[in-house]
Structure 1
Amino acid sequence: MLESKRILLIIGGGIAAYKSLDLIRRLRERGASVTSVLTRAAEEFVTPLSVAALAGSKVHQDLFDLTSEAEMGHIQLSRSADLVVVAPATADLMGKMTAGLANDLASTLLMATDTPVLIAPAMNVRMWDHPATQRNQEQLKADGIRFVGPNQGDMACGEYGPGRMAEPLEIVAAIEAELGQGPLLGKRILVTSGPTHEPIDPVRYIANRSSGAQGAAVARALVNLGADVVFVTGPADVPPPAGVEVVRVQSALEMSNAVDAALPVDAGVFAAAVADWRVASASDRKLKKSKDGLPVLEFAENPDILKRVSRLEKGRPGLVVGFAAETNDVVENATAKRLRKGCDWIVANDVSPATGIMGGSENAVILISDTGAEEWPRMAKDQVAAQLAQRIASALS
């Protein structure tokens, strides 16, 4: 919880500013006090009255407020908080922070503070991918600024990609972790993610359509709760989240070895879509067409990483979570898989093409445990991850 913690919340001017209202509510529910600063652009999206009503305190807007500035109020504001949070952090605010500009209240506070700063970027995907924004991100990280998000998903402008502001509960979790309040502080958790590529020859391989988005989201949510995360990832479309120990692999055999090297851990979340089979004898030369017809490929079974870790007699994680991607009879098949593998939980979903879940931004899962099947509503993969991370934290407490 955040009892008696003081948060200075700077709200930037973007459509995601509406989420800041829920963020204030969530912080106050947890006992934090919130002092809010609105940029001029933010006032176009949320009103000072709504922010003040939720925060229960005055909203600060103007650098040249004579009442406050008679006592150098911006200096006091910048240093009286336990944490400065910028949500949303627009491309403009990130640029000002990187360049050291201080031409309004928000940027001046950020220059004057000696308090840790956490930012939640939010902008159009093209703006986030722009080289200037990426340079700013790297510089801000080097300057010690902490990030939460941005997430992947649909934009208000109709585009899709990274740039969505993290959800309020994700930001709360990141704040708790930053202030040493995270429920997973001191816990080491292994997360596997992405597909595996099983070579046929030097240029061909067997794979699946997993993007790695859900595994990356789970790892990010666990970090936000304070966990030390080892992230073993196949060749995924989605980059690893910040703050994790990344181990990159290609094949199932490599992933199995990486998992063994990561143990012992407090919990293991096996979200990777590991190929069940590999070519028994991959060619070291490119296979050519021939008059003799199609080549014959002999397959061998890959190691069952989830089953092996679940049944360890020594060094088994305290909680083992598997994933089951099904196309029919989801609950029945996932329940049988949990018993067969010996894991504690299975996160099951329907990945048939009509759902759009495989490779998409949303997920609809069913959590299978020894108490039965709990169906969760369809939501963004980051929200699924945040909810799962909270459950893991409760189980390990």
Structure 2
Amino acid sequence: MLLLKTLRWPFLFTVIGLAVAFIYDGTTGLAVTAILIVLEVSLSFDNAVVNAKVLNRMSEFWIKIFLTVGIVIAVFGMRLLFPLVIVFVTADLSPLEAWRLALEQKPESDPTSYAHILTEAHPLIAAFGGMFLLMIFLDFVFDEDKEHHWLGPIERAMSKAAAFPAISSLVALVWLFTFSRIFHEEAQDILVAGVFGMILYLLVGGLGDYFDQGFDEDDESDDPVPSRRDATGAVVVATGKAAFSLFLYLELLDASFSFDGVIGAFAITTDPIIIALGLGVGAFYVRSITIYLVHAGTLAEYVFLEHGAHWAIGALSLLLFVSIGPEIPEVVTGLIGVAFILAALWSSVRYNKAHADEEHVVHA
């Protein structure tokens, strides 16, 4: 079975990760690591669906790079080094001092603790990640060339609005300014981080367009990962610099999705080793599910699944901005994403059944 074959490596790394956690911190480390694995998978399933769309444009070589080099970046870069970088930058510490602080595992209530410093940086993290995800969502819903519309009148109206130049950027800037007024005490951090998130998104999209000289000249989509097709209609995979730009986009996308998971993990434990183990193994599951979706052709079979994932991204972006104020439980974030995916899957099944019945009537 393809799914079990795809998940064989995550299963292996689960065993290894849990064993290391047990050796490192006994039954407590084992239990917390298991919880973090579940947390990461539940928060990032919609990430897998969007990743699959990008990977569908990449060759098998770059898919392997995504699973090898990409997972190293995901585990050690985002789940271990990223919190350290935030701490030593915002607290004006050296990297070694930040690492020592992390290993001390002081409670978040201590103003000098690693967890407290990271939590204090949450407005910057949330605005940056929230804006990057918002741009992904807006470019999808404002795409006037979508073949299907999941949420009928809403998506059709937003597709028509795409005729307005730079509508995505305009809406995103209004969104950013609104939240900077709502949380006026954090206004400067929100505006700076949010604008930087938008710049990075536009930069990656621009690099993709620049490197991918093979796209059809009449492809005017604003999507940073448009699909080029040959004369038979088959998707032509990107190679070289174009594939690298897509890989970079995937890593930035993973980073944006991981922000809430990394911050949320500190509500469970302040141990950076346990956090890296739990979220790292979870990230491996998400990547393997992405590979399964590509090889199984799930996005083509279930036409609204991509829609559900992008609406989940929009919801996650909103929750990141809202969380600058009141704390939002991770279970809420995870359940909203899963709810959108399941609703889109159900709609896709109904759509397929309706069209199958129509074809049966026509043939009859």
Higher relative contact order (CA 8 A, sep 6+): 2
How high is the TM-score relative to the length of structure 1?
0.22
Which structure has greater helix proportion? Answer: 2
Structure having the higher Rg: 1
TM-score normalised over the length of structure 2: 0.24
